[in-house]
């Protein structure tokens, strides 16, 4: 087993991984940038190593600095978390070359799944259902012919990409040429690669993903699904397990397809197979594989009863995974809400500033994976995720109710958050019915505005703010003058 692990990440996921390390009696090294000098993940670690400037390129994305940090601190493994370098095959290789263990899959698995066109071909060969379509086309004539054969609406996607970048829905032939040009441009900008693929557009599909987990001895199982259809601009907001839509038969088929997909790239560690599920005929298709521990892993941990972060570390150290598929079942229902410092009534722009108040909810079945505390600064350098609020209850209905109560008890002042927006989404009758397709949020909540706040809440918020503003340094007051009206407007967000 490892003696010391360096966590090449920040915020809530760095802390989540450090907790797993501590439970396995492994020492932890945090890395940090200028902006993160006083952040929670640095305070939580046994030791901390300074990387450099706040810009990700100078810190959390800098391969040389991270490997140097591991060597300097004597860490024998690196956990990449999610985002940053977690799906960078060169990073995984560089870590191996430095005789440090990368806590994740092999660089070959990462590479094979990184290219969406290549991975799609690989999946077809392995017998995993993929969306009808074509890859490797070049001329507009070929695209036109392909689209006709597939039948409109079609989707053009960046082959190098993923995550919705360089993606265009095309409803009819007259829109095709322009969509190809736009998608190519975006793909070139984002990935330096303008190759596109074209496929049938599954309108009103559900984004359902299967968690897989494997060791280095060829054991690989799935841990059921997460329903992630509540998204805006390819940013997930709410995730849950089980999916309110799947029958036991479809769940089994999807699970088996996911295991097949992962085995085709000799996968080990935690991974996720994304599917698009068409509820009108119960078909599902492979979209992409994420070769990392995902943001939403806690919902699987709760319903499947496993600590994924701990097992990632154990199997990276070479341990055999001691469980079979039949050892797992889904029990109860888990929901996760991502609490962001962003303004839903202003285009979801990140909201930066000092957390004048930050009170997390507590209670049975409530889990908060958080990277912030009262007094911390939210900066513009990184993703504005403040915390993940996860609830677990015996069924979906009680879980929704628990989440609504927990959201009410989550108090954040100083920055605007999406808490009230989330409350509105959860209270919608469509959500109660589980009828949420990938386009639902954008259709129903695009013009959402916060309700007027209650007077006693305004008073308590203002008092909390005043007490904190008085403690602010003179310097900070100069650059960020106290504006009571702004604070009041921000209240309860």
Residues contributing to the site for ligand MV4 (CB under 6 A):
131, 155, 162-164, 199-202, 205, 207, 231, 234, 274, 276, 287-288, 438-439
Radius of gyration over every alpha carbon of the chain, rounded to an integer in angstroms: 23
- Sheet arrangement for strand 154-158: 133-135, 196-200, 154-158, 168-170
Of 217, 177, 220, 203, residue with least CA distance to 280 = 203
Q: Both tokens of residue 106?
A: 């092999």
Determine the Cα–Cα distance for residues 159 and 156; give it in Å rounded to an integer.
9
Position closest to ligand MV4 via CB: 438
**Nearer to ligand MV4 by C-beta: 41 or 157?**
157
Q: How far is the CB of 469 from ligand MV4 (least distance, A)?
A: 40
**Nearer to ligand MV4 by C-beta: 204 or 394?**
204
Q: For 223-248, b where at least 16 C-beta lie within 10 A, e where not — what string? A: bbbbbbbbbbeeebbbbbbbbbbbee
**What is the enclosing helix (H) or strand (E) of 101?**
strand 101-102
Euclidean distance between the first and the last CA atom of the chain, given in angstroms as a whole number: 44
Kindly name the residue from 111, 168, 292, 396 that is annotated as catalytic.
292
Q: Both tokens of residue 311?
A: 């097992």
**Number of Cβ within a 10 Å radius of residue 304:** 21
Cis peptide before 242 (omega within 30 of 0): yes
Q: How far is the CB of 205 from ligand MV4 (least distance, A)?
A: 5
Q: How far is the CB of 121 from ligand MV4 (least distance, A)?
A: 16
**What is the enclosing helix (H) or strand (E) of 70?**
helix 63-73
**Nearer to ligand MV4 by C-beta: 229 or 417?**
229
Determine the Cα–Cα distance for residues 277 and 283; give it in Å rounded to an integer.
6
- The three-state secondary structure class of 163 is coil
Of 438, 410, 436, residue with least CA distance to 423 = 410
Q: How far is the CB of 424 from ligand MV4 (least distance, A)?
A: 19
367 part of the active site: no
**Nearer to ligand MV4 by C-beta: 42 or 202?**
202
**Nearer to ligand MV4 by C-beta: 300 or 437?**
437
Q: How far is the CB of 405 from ligand MV4 (least distance, A)?
A: 28
**Nearer to ligand MV4 by C-beta: 117 or 287?**
287
Place of tokens 């390819």: 234
Determine the Cα–Cα distance for residues 394 and 390; give it in Å rounded to an integer.
14
Q: How far is the CB of 450 from ligand MV4 (least distance, A)?
A: 24
**Nearer to ligand MV4 by C-beta: 200 or 492?**
200
Q: How far is the CB of 290 from ligand MV4 (least distance, A)?
A: 9
Q: Both tokens of residue 257?
A: 């397809």
Which residues form the catalytic set? 292
């Amino acid at each position: 087993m490892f003696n010391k692990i360096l966590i090449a990440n920040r915020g809530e996921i760095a802390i989540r991984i450090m907790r797993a390390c501590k439970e396995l009696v492994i020492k932890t090294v945090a890395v940090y940038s200028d902006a993160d000098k006083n952040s929670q993940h640095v305070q939580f670690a046994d030791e901390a190593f300074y990387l450099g400037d706040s810009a990700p390129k100078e810190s959390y994305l800098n391969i040389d600095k991270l490997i140097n940090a591991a060597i300097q601190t004597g860490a024998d493994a690196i956990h990449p978390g999610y985002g940053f370098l977690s799906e960078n095959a060169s990073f995984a290789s560089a870590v191996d070359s430095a005789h440090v263990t990368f806590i994740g899959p092999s660089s070959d698995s990462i590479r094979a799944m990184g290219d969406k066109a290549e991975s799609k071909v690989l999946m077809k060969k392995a017998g995993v259902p993929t969306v009808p379509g074509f890859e490797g086309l070049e001329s507009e004539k070929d695209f036109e012919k392909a689209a006709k054969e597939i039948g409109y609406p079609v989707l053009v996607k960046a082959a190098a990409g993923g995550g919705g970048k360089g993606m265009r829905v095309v409803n009819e032939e007259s829109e095709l040429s322009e969509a190809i040009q736009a998608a190519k441009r975006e793909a070139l900008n984002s990935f330096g690669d303008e190759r596109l693929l074209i496929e049938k557009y599954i309108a009103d599909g559900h984004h359902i993903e299967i968690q897989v987990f494997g060791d280095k001895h060829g054991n690989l199982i799935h841990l059921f699904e997460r329903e992630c259809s509540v998204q805006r601009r390819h940013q997930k907001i709410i995730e849950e397990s089980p999916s309110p839509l799947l029958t036991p038969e479809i769940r089994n088929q999807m699970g088996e397809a996911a295991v097949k997909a992962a085995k085709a790239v000799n996968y080990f560690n935690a991974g996720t197979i994304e599917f698009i599920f068409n509820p009108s005929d119960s078909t599902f298709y492979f979209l992409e594989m994420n070769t990392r521990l995902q943001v939403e892993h806690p919902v699987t941990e709760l319903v499947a009863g496993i600590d994924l972060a701990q097992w990632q570390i154990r199997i990276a150290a070479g341990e055999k995974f001691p469980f079979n598929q039949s050892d797992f079942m889904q029990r109860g229902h888990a929901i996760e809400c991502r609490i962001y410092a962003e303004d839903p009534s202003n285009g979801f722009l990140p909201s930066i500033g000092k957390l004048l108040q930050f009170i997390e909810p507590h209670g049975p079945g409530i889990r908060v994976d958080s990277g912030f505390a009262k007094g911390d600064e939210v900066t513009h350098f990184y993703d504005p995720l403040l915390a993940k609020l996860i609830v677990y209850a015996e069924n979906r209905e009680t879980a929704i109710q628990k989440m609504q109560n927990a959201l009410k008890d989550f108090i954040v002042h100083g920055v605007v958050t999406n808490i009230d927006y989330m409350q509105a989404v959860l209270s919608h009758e469509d959500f109660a019915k589980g009828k949420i397709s990938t386009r639902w949020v954008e259709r129903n909540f695009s013009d959402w505005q916060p309700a007027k706040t209650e007077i006693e809440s305004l008073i308590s918020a203002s008092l909390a703010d005043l007490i904190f503003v008085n403690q602010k340094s003179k310097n900070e007051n100069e650059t960020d003058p106290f504006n009571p009206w702004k604070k009041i407007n921000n209240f309860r967000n």
